[in-house]
Structure 1
């Protein structure tokens, strides 16, 4: 799930949970078509904010909006798949996003935004910095009323998920140190045995991790995603060295040591930053869908772990993270939309049952061992879960 380093939007981040003010509530992207909204002469809009993305342009129908619930109706008038982002003023932190918008498709990005300065960005072809523009949210002075009992359920779910992120981050740091020590010492067999299991902690909280735009490319950039001149570090740099393709020249002991040292340092920095991240129900719902998008884009295709073929470990971890977010919100969802809660339970169960068929010991079969039919079945179950999961945030956000 390259990043926002110069600044640059990561290739296909799934889903990412923004590091924003505690008052920000940022619901998930919803796939639907909308009517056109009329922009006022002041640059604001009294309806959905229309966004038109092409290969060379990102037209946003308003430059300002009042704080509260905002809807961006993003239409792709180009020939490539596009994405749309709302970024914090620094251009690094991802506040909200909608991905995988095919040509001719319109998808909604719904968020509740506090007053402040933001940046909008279209990313045609899912490459580069994106086509950016400033966007301002002005204080509307309006406060939403909420149901106290439902709010308590939501708050409990957020607290539980925050604890889950903390636990996974701690395990990621510990596992990374063990992996890095083995890798730096040249113990390739031990490092290979630790690689997939340790990365699962990253993959479970990937939307949180990816919200830090400068750390994500350092830790998780694939070779195919590198920009010209970008230094390649992180997990996939070590992966190629541990699971080398034909003709590959192995890294020297000094090079391995440098990769290992940087990997630990960046993971510890991630741990420090996650202690201050502000989570909310919308971020849980967004993150759940984004994790499933990560599965659909990288794990099902086998592109994420191109040398190790440990994609099913990542697949399982992404599903774990999405399911935990859903389950933390399920008590509130059962009050708001019991039918959706039941549907999500069933479809998570079906996907997990299919994954279990490929389990081997404490891990999984290598992805290149799966037949085409087995891959297609997994893909179909991911697609089946994706549609109802896209409704989660809108159902629980108050």
Structure 2
């Protein structure tokens, strides 16, 4: 899960944004078409900063097209309001582009490009609070979707808390076999809703950073720090404080998701962001590099994204039935491709899955990425 190494603390209250839209590395540089009537904003990245055009639009649906023109140090752009991440496009190497769509109310925003010489650029939305213009039946379906997703996130994080404690209790007890057994099941609930956690600034890195995501390894915490202790170091000596912090961070996540709200486009953005997680770190084997439990995370990302899509599906079927059918079929294809690797209640060690088989999984993810990347714009009118 690529992250900026620039320290940042975002104060999250009220509206929670789900980050991301087009899956890089699997979407073949596909960009979404904006819905009819949506404002179009171009964001070009270079090492000096974000170049936003126009820098002011009217309240309502907005589609941002982000392109990395020649930046080596900058690979993402985020839209912030009061330091809340509203949406983002990340993992853009030079020459790549992607989009994200949102329904914006009037007010002052910033486009944030981590690691640029000038990281933040002012962006203004004018006019009264934006109102959706969908057909009443579509609007009712979308209202139900966002309500259902809020309940789903709360439920999954409620499961994450005790599952994490089962893992951390074993760590504190120094019981390596029991901790190893509890590692992947605990992470499963986190991986289902990971884009939500990523919206809370430093909370996701604290819970889920990999070793290459941190500049000071003495401050490295979370699941992967304990994964290294279990599988590589083969010692849990001194890890009790890390286990305690993981419990505290998961409890904080629970308190935050209980008071969040969403936009329909954010559900679609989050589904695609989860697919991006699969392409960028699960299929490559980077995520669980010590335990090789990547396929469990892979399934959780796909299941979490499919849940968001399923909630949007009634509205999308009214808007674009062909697209709804295609995405449904492609989700089923990805999950079917995982079945040969099932082992008991989990999956085989990912290091035993050869490159040829990984390529097949990549092809299945590619087949889903392109149609899924179109959904946010469809539900954002």
Work out whether 1:55 is the aligned partner of 2:41.
Answer: no
**Equivalent position of 1:308 in the other structure:** 291
Matches within 5 A, 1:242-281: 242-244=230-232, 248=233, 250-252=235-237, 255-281=238-264
The answer on 1:203 being equivalent to 2:191 is yes
Which piece of structure 1 moves more, 348-357 or 61-70? 61-70
Q: State the Cα distance separating 1:153 from its structure 2 match.
A: 1.4
TM-score by length of 2: 0.88
Alpha-carbon shift at residue 138 of structure 1 (Å): 2.5
Separation in 1, partners of 2:33, 2:339:
40
Quick one: structure 1 residues 200 and 19, their matched pair in 2 at CA, closer, same or farther if it must change by over 3 Å?
A: farther
Change (3 A) 1:129 1:343: farther
Taking the aligned partners of 1:348 and 1:195, their CA distance within structure 2 comes to 26
Pairwise mapping of residues 142-161 of structure 1 onto structure 2 (< 5 A)? 143-161=131-149
Deviation at residue 342 of structure 1 after TM alignment: 1.2
Provide the secondary structure at the position in 2 that maps to 1:72.
strand
Aligned length: 369
Q: Specify whether residues 284 and 278 from structure 1 end up closer, same or farther in structure 2 by C-alpha distance, changes over 3 A only.
A: same
- Secondary structure of residue in 2 paired with 1:74: strand
> What stretches of structure 2 of length at least 5 have no aligned partner?
24-29
* Compared CA separation, residues 141 and 202, structure 1 to 2 (3 A): closer
TM-score (norm 1): 0.85
- The aligned counterpart of 1:118 is 109
Q: Which residue of 2 aligns with 1:97?
A: 88
Q: Does residue 32 of structure 1 match 2:54?
A: no
Contact 1:27/1:282 (8 A) holds in 2: no
1:19–1:204: structure 2 CA closer, same or farther, 3 Å change rule?
Answer: farther
Moved more, 227-236 or 256-265: 227-236
Is the Cα contact below 8 Å between 1:3 and 1:216 reproduced in 2? no
Q: Paired residue for 2:308, among 292, 313, 325?
A: 325
Tell me the secondary structure at the aligned position of residue 153 of structure 2.
helix
Equivalent residue number for residue 171 of structure 1: 159
Two-structure CA RMSD over aligned residues (Å) = 2.8
How far residue 29 of structure 1 moved from its aligned partner, in angstroms, is 5.3
Q: Does 1:346 align with 2:353?
A: no
Distance 1:290 1:138 in 2: 28
Alignment of 1:395 onto 2:378: yes
In structure 2, how many angstroms separate the alpha carbons of the residues matched to 1:274 and 1:159? Answer: 13
Partner of 1:64: 56
3-state SS of paired residue (2:91): strand
Secondary structure at the aligned position of 1:100 is classed as: coil
Q: Is the 8 A contact 2:33 2:374 kept in 1?
A: no
Unaligned 5+ segments in structure 1 are 10-17, 36-45
Separation in 2 of the partners of 1:62 and 1:138?
Answer: 12
Deviation at 1:230, TM superposition (A): 6.7
- Identify the residue that residue 12 of structure 1 maps to in structure 2: none
